[in-house]
């Protein structure tokens, strides 16, 4: 990080990107992934495990 500050590279590909919007999108996607993962763990996985136990 210190090297990046010292060199001060021109990152032309970053100029057209609103970093605040990018960060908000990343946080939103991670939130949705977390909710889906927790729903899987709380609802679908226990039902599947119980169904497996019932089968001989």
For 20, how many CA atoms within 13 A lie in the half-sphere containing its CB? 0
- Return the structure tokens found at 29: 């996607």
* Confidence at residue 2, expressed as pLDDT on a 0 to 100 scale: 81
What span, in angstroms and rounded, lies between the C-alpha atoms of 4 and 20?
20
- Please tell me the pTM assigned to this model: 0.59
Helices (H), 8-42: 19-39
Q: Looking at residue 15, what is its pLDDT? A: 77
pLDDT tens digit sequence for 7-55: 777 777 777 778 889 899 999 999 999 999 999 999 888 777 777 777 7
Q: How confident is the model at residue 56 (pLDDT cuts 50, 70, 90)?
A: low
Report the alpha-carbon distance of residue 37 to residue 33 in Å, rounded.
Answer: 6
- Reported as a single tens digit per residue, the pLDDT across 30-41 is 999 999 999 999
């Amino acid at each position: 990080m210190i090297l990046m500050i010292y060199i001060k590279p021109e990152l032309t590909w970053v100029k057209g990107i609103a970093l605040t919007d990018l960060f908000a999108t990343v946080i939103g996607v991670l939130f949705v992934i977390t909710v889906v993962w927790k729903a899987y763990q709380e609802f679908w996985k226990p039902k599947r495990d119980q169904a497996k136990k019932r089968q001989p």
